Amino acid sequence: MANLARNFTDAIVFIYDTDNNLITKTVITAHNRGEMYIEVAKGLENIKPKTRLQLMIIHSGGASELNGSLKSIRQGIFEISIY
């Protein structure tokens, strides 16, 4: 289980679809632990909101696997709800 108390900002994230196909490798630009979402600035341009995603986050404490869904797209920033 991922340690969600950790701050994932600036961590590398690999984003996969539910069939384990790699969608993109990018960097987390923001992490809101209270509302349980991360933001990335690129790589999800062709993904529809509410699409389920699998995340592999590489951070200073190791790696965390999370599930999520694309929450919204605002001004070129993609918000992903994590759980």
Task: Encode pLDDT of 17-66 as tens digits.
Answer: 999 999 999 999 999 999 999 999 999 999 999 999 999 999 988 999 99
Evaluate whether 67 touches 81 at the Cβ level (below 8 Å).
no
* Domain extent listing, the chain: 12-82
Distance of CA 74 to CAs 45, 58, 60, 63, 79, Å? 11, 25, 28, 27, 8
Alpha-carbon gap, residue 27 to 9, rounded angstroms: 8
Q: Is the pLDDT of residue 2 over 80?
A: no
Evaluate whether 26 touches 38 at the Cβ level (below 8 Å).
no
* Model confidence band, residue 5 (pLDDT cutoffs 50, 70, 90): low
What is the dotted CATH code of the domain comprising 12-82?
A: 2.40.10
Alpha-carbon gap, residue 28 to 40, rounded angstroms: 5
Residue type, 40: V
